[in-house]
Structure 1
Amino acid sequence: MARDLLENKAFEELFDLHYGNLVGFVYGYVRDEEVAKDIVHDAFLTFWTNRKHLDLSYSAKSYLFTLAQNYALNYLRHLRVVEVNEREVTALLESASEELAEYDERFARVEEKLALLPEKQREVFLKCVVEEKKYQEVADELDVSINTIKKHMTCALKFLRGELQDETVLLFVLKKK
């Protein structure tokens, strides 16, 4: 087949002649008829787009089958990459979900223990830790001495350390809020 193969009519004949066989060939790789049809269409489109640069000393049929095979293999490689990425994302989401649930549990325990503090200690603790106020600011606000604030903080921290042990890390998280 020479350059006349590249004319519209000849291309249509080439399409009609090999389309069914190419779809069957590609289906053997991808096991999905619609995907196989898409790949064959892409192969014909590439053939048509590059028709002026083709070396037609080789068979057009061989060129189309090689092109379709390469597209099918690329599709399968892409599926593997997508599958691996989906597994990794799923694992990350599950891990994040577990960590969030654990964080929520620990945070609830911290809140529960904070509620057990005497009212003034809790108020002083929240102002110093959560609101990040200096002892002197809290003392002025509550109209008490700085030593009273220090005593409330010492008692609150001692109680919370004893009650929470491993959750004490969350106290520092509270401080950053």
Structure 2
Amino acid sequence: MITEILFFLALSVQPDDDTIRLFERIRTGDKKAFKEFYDKNQSALFSFLLSKGLDRGTAEDLIQQAFLIIWEKRKQIDPKKSLRSYLFTTAYNRMLNHFRDRKDTEPEYAYELPSEGVNPEEKAIQSEAIRQMHTVLSEMPERRRSVFEFCYLQGFTHKETAEAMEVSVKTVENHMALALKDLRKALKNFS
């Protein structure tokens, strides 16, 4: 069961090899390239923000802000770093600002497993496992949770996550090991 949960969490769009060339086109002001980047990443970013407890309208606003920042700062962004990481970090920071400004809003996780073709007993077990996973994630230190979300939920590599969070790759690896250890321990009864 834990393997199924971690596999489901790992599903996301992986960056392709053309990203560097696409970024170079964006840096030169190519609007078609920017639209292509938007089309490739908007859906994953939207899902990411919804999973953090944002409503659809706020998530859409933050996405527009993040893409606008990318366009406006396209010449200042380091071409050696992942543009996708920069996008997600920008949106994530905007989201944190939103939550800070609206202290009455408490983010909730929205991770779910597919339930089609699952009998009621299995569905109950899955629901309990998801609830337990939410608890573990909400109790993790913010940095560890962020590393886990970038790597597993958004499919970032350890290097991209390190760049996005401005930490070393070793720090990302350590946080991932601790996050997985926490999840395995909490979900050991579901295997």
TM-score normalized by the length of structure 1: 0.44
Q: Which has the larger radius of gyration?
A: 1
Greater helix fraction, Structure 1 or Structure 2: 1
TM-score normalized by the length of structure 2: 0.41
- Which structure ranks higher in relative contact order (CA pairs < 8 Å, sequence separation ≥ 6)? 2
